[in-house]
Amino acid sequence: MPESEMTLRYGMNPHQKPAKAFVEEGALPFEVRNGSPGYINLLDALNSWQLVRELKDATGLPAAASFKHVSPAGAAVGVPIEETLAKALFVDGVDLSPLATAYARARGADRISSFGDWIALSDVVDVPTANLIRREVSDGVIAPGYTDEAAAILGKKKGGNYCMLEADMSYVPAPNEHRTVFGVTLEQGRNEIELDQLSNVVTKDKELPQAARRDLLVALTALKYTQSNSICMALGGQVIGAGAGQQSRIHCTRLAGNKADMWFLRQHPLTLGLKFRDGLGRPERDNAIDGFLRDDLAPAEDQFWREAFTEIPERLTTAQKREWLNQLTGVAMGSDAFIPFRDNIDRAAMSGVKYIVQPGGSVRDEDVVEAAEQYSMVMALSGVRLFHH
């Protein structure tokens, strides 16, 4: 039976004691099935649970999120994975249910950042999903339930201490939320806005295919629970690049675009053909692939990734990368606040962005829309800011 209060080992840092989680009325909106969640675990769990619940409501598909430090490293819905992408995500030949597919995509958005993630799942955890989680390094999971077999599989992780939370599907939070900072309590209404805000298309090209609408909803829902400022790029029902917590909008766009580029470059034939040393784990392979694809490594880093392979591969040239990235098309991009300058559009175009949703409201909206039209993009103005702090 869920309780109204639980003691935590410590707060955000080990020296921040005492620490606890509690509600003033009723019971906590989750039950601890296994393990002992920490303060940051609960921040990730409660934010990510809202994300996947809303994403399933918006799309009708099973949803998953991979959270790190109170922002999604990835989020996705259960769209089938094509063979090339499956190989890039290390799930080729793996039995994937729709829910497992959603998590494979969410984890695969940015596998470097997802190392040690907190997982949120919209549906009852099944065996294929548990088997996928079992082999990855993660802190814990929140879901509406677990089959007996799935619970037994996950219960063996971390020497039996893997954290498993079961969310209360009937829980309805209070309409106002509070936060205490430096002894001052802040209060605001919950951000309960519906995210289907795609009707106000302001570019000459107004065609929004169903897949693009789905991807824009994925981006918007992820943005709603991403530390601001933030930009999110999505394709195939999943986040492929998120730029979170930057003070400048263009830095958000560059970060999201760089991550989207790396996601696509992982699918390059030369990347898929890399020969790893025997016994090299997935995290080490992820790091080696990252080193193979980057051009800005220190000498020691460069040596590290080379030692991961049986044959030292020739790096992709700038021209080879650009030729491959030119094939990345149809990407959806969301912005949590208005896009202030066209440089964001110019950078987005380099990562295959075709569809954009943003609140609008900048004095340079006309310039930004004109830039989008120059790239034959479709842009919708939602009129809704989605800051999250």
CATH number of residue 197's parent domain: 3.40.140.20
Residues 250 and 366 in one domain: yes
Helices vs strands, H then E, count in the chain? 13, 15
Residue 185 in domain: no
Residue 179 lies in a domain: no
**Residue 358: how many other CB atoms lie within 10 Å:** 28
Tokens 């918007």 — which residue?
220
**141 phi/psi in degrees, rounded to 5:** -145, 145
How does the average pLDDT of the chain come out, rounded? 95
Question: Which pLDDT score, from 0 to 100, does residue 94 have?
Answer: 95
Three-class SS of residue 149?
helix
d(CA 168, CA 75): 21
At residue 360, the pLDDT reads: 95
Q: Which residues, listed in sequence order, are joined to residue 335 by a DSSP beta bridge?
A: 231
pLDDT digits (tens, 9 = 90+) for 222-248: 999 999 999 999 999 999 999 999 999
pLDDT of residue 19: 95
141, 172, 203: which is the final residue of a domain? Answer: 172
Residue 297 or residue 15, greater confidence: 15
Count structural domains, the chain: 3
Q: What is the pLDDT of residue 51?
A: 97
Within this chain, do residues 17 and 146 fall inside the same structural domain, yes or no?
yes
**Residues in a beta bridge with 63:** 77
* Mean of pLDDT values over 141-147: 98
* Distances in whole angstroms, Cα of residue 175 to Cα of each of 22, 189, 213, 299: 17, 6, 29, 54
pLDDT at residue 1 tops 80? no
Count the neighbouring beta carbons within 10 Å of the beta carbon of residue 53: 17
Structure tokens at 248: 């400048």
Listed in sequence order, the residues at least 6 apart from 193 whose beta carbon sits closer than 8 Å to its beta carbon are: 384
pLDDT at residue 151 in the model: 98
Report yes or no: 74 and 238 within 8 Å, Cβ to Cβ.
yes
Regarding whether 260 and 279 lie in a shared domain, the answer is: no
pLDDT(33) > 80: yes
Kindly state whether residue 386 falls inside one of the protein's structural domains. no
Q: What's the CA gap between 159 and 102, in Å, rounded?
A: 26
The answer to whether the beta carbons of residues 54 and 195 sit under 8 Å apart is yes
What is the domain extent for residue 290?
Answer: 273-315
Is the same domain home to 26 and 89? yes
Same domain for 310 and 202: no
| Same domain membership, residue 330 and residue 238 | yes
Q: Which of 116, 140, 172 is the last residue of a domain?
A: 172
* Tokens (6 digits) for 40: 């940051």
Strand, coil or helix: 140 = strand
Residue 132 lies in a domain: yes
DSSP 335: E
Please report the DSSP string for 68-101 in residue order: ETTEEEEEEE-PPPPHHHHHHTT-TT----HHHH
147 with 207, same domain: the answer is: no
**Three-state DSSP class for 135?**
coil
Which of 122, 138, 172 terminates a domain? The answer is 172
pLDDT of residue 202 exceeding 90, the answer is yes
Whether residue 58 contacts residue 29, with contact meaning beta carbons closer than 8 Å, is answered with no
219 with 252: CB under 8 angstroms?
no
Q: Is the pLDDT of residue 373 over 70?
A: yes
Q: State whether 358 and 248 are in the same domain.
A: yes
Point out which residues pair with 22 in neighbouring strands. Answer: 5
User: 127 pLDDT band (50/70/90 cuts)?
Assistant: very high
Is residue 389 in a domain?
no
Q: Do the domain assignments include residue 184?
A: no
The closest of 256, 237, 262 to 335, measured between CA atoms, is 256
Whether 250 and 304 share a structural domain: no
Which residues have a catalytic role annotated? 68-69, 229, 389
Tell me what pLDDT residue 2 has: 63
Do residues 89 and 201 share a domain? no
pLDDT tens, position by position, 321-357: 999 999 999 999 999 999 999 999 999 999 999 999 9
357's CB contacts (< 8 A; 6+ apart) are 197, 198, 216, 219, 220, 332, 333, 334, 335, 379, 380, 381, 382
Q: How many CB atoms lie within 10 A of CB 235?
A: 28
Q: Of all residues in the chain, what percent carry a pLDDT higher than 70?
A: 99
**Residues found in the chain:** 389
138 and 250 share one domain = no
Q: Are 230 and 242 in contact (CB under 8 A)?
A: yes
- The Cα–Cα gap between 99 and 78 comes to 6
Q: 207, 198, 204, 253: which is closest to 58 by C-alpha?
A: 198
Q: Which alpha helices (DSSP H) does the chain contain, by range?
A: 39-59, 83-88, 98-108, 127-134, 148-154, 210-224, 249-265, 269-272, 282-293, 299-306, 318-325, 343-350, 365-374
Residue 344 within any structural domain of the chain: yes
Question: What is the distance, to the nearest Å, from the Cα of residue 119 to the centroid of all Cα atoms in its chain?
Answer: 10
Binned at pLDDT 50, 70 and 90, residue 283 comes out as very high
User: Residue 320 domain-assigned?
Assistant: no
* Residue 134: band (very low, low, confident or very high) from pLDDT cuts 50, 70, 90: very high
Report the alpha-carbon distance of residue 154 to residue 144 in Å, rounded.
15
pLDDT in tens, 189-200: 999 887 778 999
What confidence tier does 168 reach under pLDDT thresholds 50, 70, 90? very high
Asked whether residue 335 falls in the same domain as residue 248, the answer is: yes
Q: List, for residues 63-117, the tens digit of each pLDDT value.
A: 999 999 999 999 999 999 999 999 999 999 999 999 999 999 999 999 999 999 9
Q: What is the CATH number of the domain that holds 310?
A: 1.10.287
